[in-house]
A and B are shown apart, each in its own frame.
Chain A
Amino acid sequence: MKQQKLMEKLSLWQLAVLLFTFEIGSVAVVGVGNDLRQDAWIAVAISTLLGAGIVSFYIMLLKRAPGKNLFELMTISFGKWLGKGIGLLYVFYFFYIAERVLRDFCELITTVIFENTPIEIISITMMGVIAYMIYLGLEVFGRTGEIFIPYVFTFTILIGFATFFSGEMDFKNLLPVMAEGSGPIIQHIFPRLLTFPFGELITFMVIIPYVTQFNKAGKVSVITVLVSGMIIIYGTVIEIVTLGTEQLERTVFPLLSAARYISLLEFIERVDLVVVFIVMFGIITKVSVFFFAGLKGLEHITNISYRYMVLPMATIISYGTILISDNFAEHIEEGIRFIPHYMHVPFQFILPALFAPLLFWRTKKQKRGSDTNGSK
């Protein structure tokens, strides 16, 4: 088929856009570090730095074999069959996280805007949009990001200013700093904050190889992670100073709750829908990235172009979105008790750390082999 031979290329700017929206997407829905009360922003700041480190580790792995994505790297290091098997596990992981992220968004929509609409419909329609976008390819995806990023960025910044000028911010809420010492912060950073949202960037190991200027991709993604980390800190501080620590602990969707305080000149009011817009685009990006990464894995395993599998897999994801939990409390509990420890940590840190030495060894041999061949 001709379609499948379309070149898939992302520009550096598009990569940065995707990374950025990916980072702030889920964070804008559920917020991070709400348990840490007024110290949440410190934890975010630390984990941003660590996150930049993680990303550069992923990039370093990719640089060993330019043009190869995560699944191909695994085949290189583990051999054909074991590599494909672990690849399949990654596919499950990516799809599962895509389902969770989509569920976050569906919960937001059904609680705040569409109270009577069944959650199933929202999941199916969102997945329809995402499937169509992925079907058209990575380029379309990147360009969609390019179109929306100005709005997402300015709205995020403006929410802070608007709440400030509405006089709803109380900077005293940031005190006392680190009252309980650094213990809770460190516990919170690992494994929860480090894996979500920063460790999840492992999905970009599937996307970064398709960037046109691969050499610069590393620098760009580290900078983007730092920038988006700053935006997350900004958002967290807004949440803390607007809502106060007591409320922050009780609220389900912090940024949305904070935006509800905005009331400027008795004219700009009830702008919480802006938050929903940011969240919607963030979630579309995030689910798409996970979905695309999973599809690429399937493509690698079966040698069939992923375009054929977009539709069936999209239905599975919208199905799983509903199935993963019966109610919101279960969804959150899974997110706190199970996912970070048993899914994020193995797939984001342990497996990459396992195959990194193997990869180095194999690529070294290959390189040496090609060198000797050349000298002959």
Chain B
Amino acid sequence: MVTFVYLVMYIGMLVLISLIDMFIWKQSFFQVILRLFTLDEGTNEWLIGGTVFIGFICSIVIDYRLRKNKGQKQL
């Protein structure tokens, strides 16, 4: 469930940000998405990419542990 929420939030935030960028830059949706995902060489954008990935892994781990706990309780 946490993973699901994570994905919903991640995609939702992306859509929101790209909508606003579309409004500001007057570009099409795909151009904006492309711009958001291109990692500029030399900047440190990989850092936040990594952070988000850590977040994703964390949410999977949390989900797994939640399920395990639930199973134990039921047993």
Complex contact flag A–B (Cβ < 8 Å): yes
Q: A315-B51, A315-B54 are in contact. Are A121 and B20 (CB under 8 A)?
A: no
Report whether B62 and A312 are in contact in the complex, using a CB–CB cutoff of 8 Å: yes
In Å, the complex CA distance between A311 and B63 comes to 13
Report whether B48 and A318 are in contact in the complex, using a CB–CB cutoff of 8 Å: yes
How many residues of chain B have a CB within 8 Å of chain A? 33
CB of A35 within 8 Å of the partner chain = no
Q: Can you list, as one digit per residue, whether each of A78-104 has a CB less than 8 Å from chain B (1) or not (0)?
A: 000000000010011001100100000
Which of A204-212, A213-221, A322-330 sits within the interface?
Answer: A322-330
Q: For chain A residues 1-49, which have a beta carbon within 8 Å of chain B?
A: 1
Which of A67-75, A160-168, A301-309, A344-352 sits within the interface?
Answer: A301-309
CB of A203 within 8 Å of the partner chain = no
B contacts with A: majority SS: helix
CB of A123 within 8 Å of the partner chain = yes
Within the complex, the shortest CB–CB distance from B59 to chain A, in Å, comes to 4
Which of A169-177, A228-236, A275-283, A331-339 sits within the interface?
Answer: A331-339
Report whether B16 and A96 are in contact in the complex, using a CB–CB cutoff of 8 Å: yes
Report whether A120 and B47 are in contact in the complex, using a CB–CB cutoff of 8 Å: yes
Report whether B44 and A313 are in contact in the complex, using a CB–CB cutoff of 8 Å: no
Within the complex, the shortest CB–CB distance from A290 to chain B, in Å, comes to 13
Q: A95-B9, A95-B13, A334-B24 are in contact. Are A312 and B47 (CB under 8 A)?
A: no
Report whether A313 and B9 are in contact in the complex, using a CB–CB cutoff of 8 Å: yes
Report whether A311 and B55 are in contact in the complex, using a CB–CB cutoff of 8 Å: yes
Most A C-beta atoms less than 10 A away, residue of B1, B47, B56? B47
Most A C-beta atoms less than 10 A away, residue of B51, B54, B58? B51
Chain A residues whose C-beta falls within 8 Å of the C-beta of B8 in the assembled complex: 88
Chain B residues whose C-beta falls within 8 Å of the C-beta of A92 in the assembled complex: 9, 12-13, 16
Residue numbers of A with Cβ under 8 A of B are: 1, 88, 91-92, 95-96, 99, 118-121, 123-124, 298, 301-302, 304, 308-309, 311-316, 318-320, 322-324, 326, 330, 333-334, 337-338, 342
Residue numbers of B with Cβ under 8 A of A are: 1-2, 5-6, 8-10, 12-14, 16-17, 20, 23-24, 35-36, 43-45, 47-49, 51-52, 54-56, 58-59, 62, 66, 69
19 sample A-B contacts, Cβ–Cβ < 8 Å, listed by A number: A92-B13, A118-B43, A120-B44, A302-B1, A302-B5, A304-B2, A304-B66, A309-B5, A312-B6, A313-B55, A315-B51, A315-B55, A315-B56, A316-B6, A316-B10, A323-B17, A323-B48, A337-B24, A342-B23
Q: A302-B1, A312-B55, A323-B14 are in contact. List 10 more A-B contacts (CB 8 A).
A: A118-B43, A120-B47, A124-B48, A304-B66, A309-B59, A316-B10, A319-B48, A319-B55, A324-B20, A338-B20
